[in-house]
């Protein structure tokens, strides 16, 4: 049995694919890695919000799944759209890395609280940009597209004084020495799925392959948390350019989801939390989303989508 793994071609995406291949190998399953370029990889001169968010980093891989040219697609979970197309499913989640946002700088004395208007922080995320405006209004943000290596090069060349990135990617690409600050989860709550790797497949995937992947790759605790987060995102109809945040934790058999919406200019932030049985993870996400919509989130999202 050989499992064909589809992935984007960036160093981080390939790291993730090789990591999944290594987990399969431990169980005696051979694999082949196939690289596929996505729309999000090709267009680097526009912000994510201007390109359009649906399937930006996943559509081409999904086409290959449906055409049975690959067995699974390996994604950063935060890049996977809230609703999958017909015939597709997320079948496993690898154990989640730390989900925090971190500040990266070549200046070890850099701290967000010390920044003034002369400092520029690079980010490609509307969520991070809005949170910067809300929590650090004295900081200027600038668009930072491209893979991690490209962003680090621009940081070195002085385009930015610092970058805000996900800890997981920074750690996996061995840039941890440049982390100068780890932003707290209760303030810079991450994007849904941040830090986790998601495995997508056709619903017609061979049952033996499906069972092996579930057994060797899936982390049940991460899966429960991601079910809650993605259920919330699906109800809010969020995409990677909409500043929605959501992070779930699991204690014994209880899932706690903290989530919210922030306006593009950072002036409004709506934050709520909800706990319940892990078996009801998807219901928790949906219920919390409904509460957010009823508490003013519906209007906020309408205004955000008009602006985007």
Residue 172: Cβ within 10 Å count: 18
DSSP for 42-97 reads H--SS-HHHH--TTTTTHHHHHHHHTTS-SEEEEEGGGS-SSPPTTEEEEEEPPPP
Q: 114 an active-site residue?
A: no
DSSP for 204-263 reads TS-HHHHHHHHHHH--HHHHHHHHHHHHHHHHHT--TTS-EEEEEEEETTEEEEEEEEE-
Q: Which helix (H) or strand (E) holds 290?
A: helix 281-292
- Write out the two tokens for 150: 């490209």
- Write out the two tokens for 40: 């999000």
**CA-atom Rg of the chain in angstroms:** 19
Catalytic residue of the set 79, 94, 101, 161: 79
Q: Is 156 helix (H, G, I), strand (E, B) or coil?
A: helix
Q: Which of 50, 67, 94 is nearest to 240 (CA)?
A: 50
Distance separating alpha carbons of residues 289 and 284, to the nearest angstrom: 9
Distance separating alpha carbons of residues 31 and 14, to the nearest angstrom: 13
Q: Is 70 helix (H, G, I), strand (E, B) or coil?
A: coil
Distance separating alpha carbons of residues 101 and 227, to the nearest angstrom: 21
- Write out the two tokens for 105: 């700088």
Distance separating alpha carbons of residues 293 and 275, to the nearest angstrom: 18
Q: Which helix (H) or strand (E) holds 276?
A: strand 269-277
Active site residues: 79
């Amino acid at each position: 049995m050989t499992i064909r793994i589809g992935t984007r071609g960036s160093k981080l995406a390939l790291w993730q694919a090789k990591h999944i291949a290594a987990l399969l190998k431990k169980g005696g399953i051979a694999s082949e890695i196939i690289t596929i370029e996505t729309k999000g990889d090709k267009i680097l001169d526009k912000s994510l919000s201007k390109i359009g968010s649906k399937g930006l980093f996943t559509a081409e891989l999904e086409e290959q799944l449906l055409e049975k040219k690959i067995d699974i697609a390996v994604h950063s979970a935060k890049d996977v759209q809230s609703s999958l197309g017909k015939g597709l499913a997320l079948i496993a989640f690898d154990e989640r890395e730390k989900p925090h946002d971190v500040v990266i700088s070549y200046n070890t004395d850099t701290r967000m609280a010390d920044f003034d208007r002369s400092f520029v922080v690079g980010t490609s995320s509307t969520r991070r940009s809005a949170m910067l405006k809300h929590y650090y209004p004295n900081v200027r943000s600038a668009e930072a597209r491209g893979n991690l290596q490209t962003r680090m090069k621009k940081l070195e060349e002085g385009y930015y004084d610092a970058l805000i990135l996900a800890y997981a990617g920074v750690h996996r690409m061995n840039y941890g020495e440049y982390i100068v600050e780890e932003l707290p989860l209760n303030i810079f709550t991450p994007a849904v799925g941040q830090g986790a790797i998601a495995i997508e497949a056709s619903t017609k995937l061979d049952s033996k392959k499906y069972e092996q992947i579930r057994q060797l790759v899936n982390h049940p605790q991460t899966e429960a948390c991601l079910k809650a987060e993605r259920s919330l995102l699906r109800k809010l109809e969020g995409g990677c350019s909409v500043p929605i945040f959501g992070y779930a934790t699991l204690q014994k058999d209880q899932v706690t989801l903290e989530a919210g919406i922030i306006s593009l200019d950072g002036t409004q932030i709506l934050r709520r939390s909800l706990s319940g049985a892990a078996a009801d993870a998807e219901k928790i996400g949906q219920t919390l989303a409904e509460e957010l919509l009823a508490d003013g989130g519906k209007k906020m999202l309408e205004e955000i989508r008009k602006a985007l």
